[in-house]
């Protein structure tokens, strides 16, 4: 731990001890209102964009001022989801669903992320959580991996029986490459696959290409990291990612431009191994959300698998601004026509580890 980070911890602990106790007392159930949301602001009948079928959406609001700033989202199981915010809070959401459509929020809990001494993260340089993945044992979620920017790091937390984030467990190794990350441009997207964990920063490029990093453990147990650049339009920045059942990666990116407005895009990434190099990420555009379709500052992505069906949940970061909204949108990823015709009812082939690799997915 650097001296600067240690200094931040000392200041946070000394100046905010009383506030922390008061804040912890407020942790627990929170009321969230949900209003229905159409996919298109100009035509309520629009329910399909490319391979995505709209399965309902909500505009969320709450009298609790800490609800907002969502930067990461994951499905825990059933109708339960876990989110993190860039102010150092976690938010557990239980959705209401009817006929596979998102219709409301049944219950919610909120809590504060803590450090290795149990002190709440109350200052922005320490609390800026931007990415989330879930560690599972026998299919059950047992831990949450939270990735922070400004003070670039990854911490693992225990999950309680209700899906809330509990005590700090340990720091996860990332490597020296994070030292090159801009203060406000850290790891935003994380996807744990059978080929390793893919870490994608918001604002780290070379020759116009995003510099993703793949981490995996060799047969000797040592952690290895390789840099894998891939193409992404320069006006878009990665905000979240998630592994798909077929071994691919779904990448969420967003754009904000005073001239072009707000937009979000989804791309499919496919890792292709190479015996003589780090491999490559092949990117295939999937779809884009932009006006007149409903869109905001989309920063969070969760994938929910039900049998042969795959559902996507997108959530926006309102930046705690009255000019923005917290949106939760549900889509179903429909099979590609060629894949549907060739294998309408079979499972996709499992990804296999390459030479010298072990399988250790994060979520």
Residue 153 makes CB contacts below 8 A (sequence gap 6+) with 147, 171, 174, 178
Q: What is the CATH number of domain 3-336?
A: 2.115.10
Per-residue confidence (pLDDT) for residue 300, from 0 to 100: 98
Kindly tell me if the per-residue pLDDT of 338 is higher than 80.
Answer: no
Neighbouring residues of 251: CB distance < 8 A, sequence distance ≥ 6: 189, 200, 232, 238, 240, 241, 266, 267, 268, 269, 283
Question: pLDDT by residue (tens digit) across 166-187?
Answer: 999 999 999 999 999 999 999 9
Read off the pLDDT of residues 80-103 as tens digits, 9 standing for 90 and up: 999 999 999 999 999 999 999 999
* Start-to-end C-alpha separation, the chain: 26
Task: Name which of 184-198, 305-319, 342-356 the model is least confident about.
Answer: 342-356
Signed CA dihedral, 75, 81, 82, 85: sign only: positive
Report, as an integer, the average pLDDT of 60-88: 97
- Give 129-192 as a DSSP string: EEEEEEEEETTEEEEEEEEETTTTEEEEEEE-TTS-EEEEEEEPP--GGGGGS-TT--EEEEEE
| % of the chain surpassing 90 pLDDT | 81
- Percent residues over pLDDT 70 in the chain: 86
Would you call 279 helix, strand, or coil by DSSP? Answer: coil
Considering the entire predicted model, what is its pTM?
Answer: 0.87
φ and ψ at residue 318, rounded to 5 degrees: -85, 0
Task: Compute the chain's Rg from CA coordinates.
Answer: 20
Return the closest-CA partner of residue 298 out of 262, 322, 268.
262
Give the pair of three-digit tokens for residue 280: 């490559």
* Structure confidence at residue 294 as a pLDDT band (50, 70, 90): very high
Q: How far apart are CA 129 and CA 123, in angstroms?
A: 11
Average pLDDT value for residue range 219-241: 95
Mean pLDDT (the chain) is 88
Handedness of CA 243, 244, 246, 251 (dihedral sign): negative
- How large is the average pLDDT for residues 217-232? 94
User: Which of 5-9, 21-25, 210-214 has the largest mean confidence?
Assistant: 210-214
Token pair, residue 193, equals 């696959």
* Cβ pair 300, 71 in contact under 8 A: yes
Which sequence spans correspond to the domains of the chain? Answer: 3-336
Cβ contacts of 162 within 8 Å, gap of 6 or more: 92, 109
Residue with tokens 């670039």: 152
């Amino acid at each position: 731990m650097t001296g600067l980070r240690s200094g931040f911890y000392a200041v946070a602990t000394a100046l905010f001890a009383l506030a922390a106790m008061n804040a912890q007392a407020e942790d627990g159930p929170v009321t969230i209102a949900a209003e229905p949301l159409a996919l298109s602001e100009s035509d309520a009948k629009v329910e399909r964009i490319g391979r995505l079928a709209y399965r309902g959406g909500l505009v969320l609001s709450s009298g609790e001022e800490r609800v907002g700033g969502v930067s990461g989202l994951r499905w825990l199981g059933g109708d339960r989801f876990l989110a993190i915010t860039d102010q150092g809070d976690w938010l557990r959401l239980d959705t209401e669903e009817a006929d596979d459509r998102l219709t409301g929020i049944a219950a919610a809990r909120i809590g504060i992320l803590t450090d290795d001494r149990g002190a709440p993260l109350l200052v922005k340089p320490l609390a800026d959580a931007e990415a989330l993945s879930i560690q599972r044992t026998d299919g059950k979620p047992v831990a949450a991996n939270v990735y922070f920017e400004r003070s670039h790091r990854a911490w693992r937390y225990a999950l309680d029986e209700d899906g809330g984030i509990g005590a700090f467990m340990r720091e996860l190794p990332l490597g020296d490459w994070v030292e090159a990350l801009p203060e406000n441009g850290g790891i935003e997207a994380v996807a744990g696959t059978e080929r390793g964990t893919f870490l994608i920063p918001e604002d780290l490029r070379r020759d116009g290409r995003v510099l993703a990093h793949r981490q995996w453990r060799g047969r000797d147990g040592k952690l290895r990291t390789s840099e894998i650049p891939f193409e992404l339009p320069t006006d878009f920045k990665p905000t979240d990612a998630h592994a798909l059942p077929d071994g691919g990666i779904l990448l969420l990116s967003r754009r904000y431009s005073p001239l072009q407005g707000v937009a979000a895009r989804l791309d499919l990434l496919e890792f292709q191994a190479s015996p003589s190099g780090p491999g490559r990420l092949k990117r295939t555009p999937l779809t884009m959300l932009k006006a007149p379709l409903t869109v905001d500052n989309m920063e969070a992505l969760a994938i929910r698998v039900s049998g042969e069906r795959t559902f996507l949940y997108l959530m926006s970061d309102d930046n705690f601004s009255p000019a923005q909204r917290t949106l939760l949108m549900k889509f179903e990823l429909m099979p590609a026509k060629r894949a549907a015709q060739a294998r309408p009812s079979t499972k996709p082939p499992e990804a296999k580890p390459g030479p010298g690799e072990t399988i250790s997915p994060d979520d």
